[in-house]
């Protein structure tokens, strides 16, 4: 085994242990109190999981997207909110890694990331854009002392108050069109978040994502050189859909496991008699398998084009359709599997304090179709299908 593979296996083993021993233990409390899963994020930082994909040339582990996706899957089985924080952090970090310019400010930043394990949150949505991430109102604006500034009204900022850094989409300059966007990375001592709401929600409560007015003052070198449209198509959008779908699979699998345990316990009580829910469980296992296949093929599609000249293929319409469909199908299938698990477990799944409770899974899964609303993605797909050929 190569050193890189050893390192990846070691990371996975570490994340699995944290998922089991820390995330799962606190999951119900994180959910009930709608609090940030600080102990789990600290534990992940301590094993280097937050900086794992930083390239080896910059002192990092050079861990692949596939391994990060597997970490999201493992965490998703234990605590979906923790898994979502971990996934969103890595969407930002992998995006920075994939669009790195040699010798620039972001290289030094990644060096820092390796020693500090800085948690990155994103500020992509904006009040007034109707949920369209491809447009911004706030702009990179020159300020005194040669610095840059912005003020952005964000309807949600996931774990913004707990993040060390924010990656924010903005118009390139005050005179730029709404679609002419860039992404800027700012540190906690360079920005402020003024909360504009609360975070008392149905599911994914531990992500602590209230709205905020974000204000920042920072150096011009902290803006990614690549236009955001390219960053979004080649990295941020496919990575979001891949990492999210992996953690959703984790939610669905854990709900299924609880349903299986329920049927097994019933079977033990009545030897020789098949429990009434057993057939429902059998059907549900097929639905989980379908979801697993979908999620795995999404990752393989990305890996096939992830590096080198093929990477530009990721910005073709047919690839956009593929990853959009992954998001829509995986989010709805996850929700349906969780409903199915509730059907199997009945009242024992409905109660919040049994080994077969699936209420948290179901509530967390209900966020999946809303995070970048499936309705909006379908609208985009409808337009793309007017012109794309092979889908």
Partner 1 sequence: MNETIRKAVEDHARLPVPVASLADGDDLYQAGMTSHASVNVMLALEDAFDTEFPDRMLKRSVFESIASIEAALSELQAEAVS
Q: What's the min distance (Å) between Cβ of 182 and partner 1? A: 11
Binding of residue 325 to partner 1 (CB under 8 A): no
Q: For residue 71, give every residue at least 6 positions away whose Cβ sits within 8 Å of its Cβ, in sequence order, or none.
A: 11, 12, 15, 49, 86
Task: State which of residues 179, 197, 276, 355 lies at the interface with partner 1 (CB under 8 A).
Answer: 179
Q: Near partner 1 by CB under 8 A, which window of 103-111, 172-180, 265-273, 303-311?
A: 172-180
Binding of residue 310 to partner 1 (CB under 8 A): no
Binding of residue 317 to partner 1 (CB under 8 A): yes
Binding of residue 134 to partner 1 (CB under 8 A): yes
Strand partners, 217: 149
Q: Near partner 1 by CB under 8 A, which window of 14-22, 95-103, 314-322, 323-331?
A: 314-322
Task: State which of residues 315, 329, 343, 350 lies at the interface with partner 1 (CB under 8 A).
Answer: 315
CB of 19 or CB of 232, closer to partner 1: 232
CB of 82 or CB of 136, closer to partner 1: 136
CB of 151 or CB of 180, closer to partner 1: 180
CB 358 within 8 A of CB 341: yes
Angle subtended at Cα 173 by Cα 235 and Cα 127, rounded to the nearest 5 degrees: 70
Closest by Cα among 181, 164, 182 to 96 = 182
CB 251 within 8 A of CB 203: no
CB 146 within 8 A of CB 214: no
CB 119 within 8 A of CB 104: no
CA distance 82 to 88: 10
CB of 95 or CB of 186, closer to partner 1: 95
CA distance 352 to 69: 29
Start-to-end CA span in the chain (Å): 38
CB of 297 or CB of 379, closer to partner 1: 379
Tell me the site size for partner 1, rule CB under 8 A: 26
Q: Near partner 1 by CB under 8 A, which window of 47-55, 208-216, 311-319, 323-331?
A: 311-319
CB 187 within 8 A of CB 116: no
Binding of residue 180 to partner 1 (CB under 8 A): yes
Q: For residue 130, give every residue at least 6 positions away whose Cβ sits within 8 Å of its Cβ, in sequence order, or none.
A: none
Give, as ranges, the residues between 217 and 246 that touch partner 1 (CB under 8 A).
227, 229-230, 233
Binding of residue 389 to partner 1 (CB under 8 A): yes
CB of 144 or CB of 390, closer to partner 1: 390
Binding of residue 318 to partner 1 (CB under 8 A): yes
212-218 β-sheet, strand order:
141-142, 148-154, 212-218, 191-195
CB of 9 or CB of 378, closer to partner 1: 378
CB 99 within 8 A of CB 380: no
Binding site residues, partner 1, CB under 8 A: 134-135, 172, 176-180, 227, 229-230, 233, 312-313, 315-318, 380, 383-384, 386-390
């Amino acid at each position: 085994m190569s050193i890189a593979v050893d390192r990846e296996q070691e990371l996975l083993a570490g994340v699995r242990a944290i998922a089991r021993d820390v995330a799962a233990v606190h999951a119900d409390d994180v959910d009930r109190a709608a609090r940030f899963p600080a102990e789990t994020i600290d534990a992940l930082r301590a094993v280097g999981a937050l900086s794992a994909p930083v390239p080896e040339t910059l002192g990092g582990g050079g861990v692949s997207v596939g391994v990060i996706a597997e970490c999201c899957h493992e965490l998703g089985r234990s605590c979906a909110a923790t898994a979502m924080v971990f996934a969103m952090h890595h969407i930002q970090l992998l995006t920075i890694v994939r669009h790195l310019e040699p010798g620039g400010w972001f290289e030094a930043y990644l060096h820092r990331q390796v020693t500090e394990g800085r948690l990155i949150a994103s500020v992509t949505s904006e009040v007034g854009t109707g949920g369209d991430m491809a447009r911004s109102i706030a702009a990179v604006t020159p300020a005194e002392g040669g610095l840059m500034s912005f003020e952005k009204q964000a309807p949600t900022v996931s774990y913004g108050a707990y993040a060390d850094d924010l990656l924010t989409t903005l118009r390139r300059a005050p005179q730029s069109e709404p679609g002419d966007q860039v992404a800027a990375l700012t540190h906690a001592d360079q920005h402020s978040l003024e909360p504009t709401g609360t975070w008392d929600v149905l599911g994914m409560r531990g992500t602590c994502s209230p709205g905020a007015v974000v204000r920042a003052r920072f150096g011009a070198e902290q803006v990614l050189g690549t236009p955001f449209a390219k960053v979004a198509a080649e990295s941020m959008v496919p990575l979001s859909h891949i990492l999210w779908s992996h953690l959703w699979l984790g939610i669905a699998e854990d709900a299924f496991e609880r349903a299986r345990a329920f049927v097994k316990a019933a079977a033990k009580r009545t030897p020789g008699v098949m429990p009434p829910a057993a057939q429902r469980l059998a059907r549900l296992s097929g639905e989980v398998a379908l979801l697993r296949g979908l999620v795995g093929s999404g990752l393989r599609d990305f890996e096939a084009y992830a590096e080198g000249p093929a990477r530009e293929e990721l910005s073709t319409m047919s690839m956009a359709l593929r990853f959009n469909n992954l998001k829509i199908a995986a989010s709805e299938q996850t929700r349906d599997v969780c409903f199915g698990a509730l059907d199997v477990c009945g009242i024992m799944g409905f109660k919040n304090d049994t080994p077969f409770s699936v209420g948290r899974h179901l509530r967390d899964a209900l966020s999946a179709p809303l995070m970048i609303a499936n309705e909006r993605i379908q609208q985009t797909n409808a337009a793309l299908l007017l012109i794309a050929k092979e889908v």
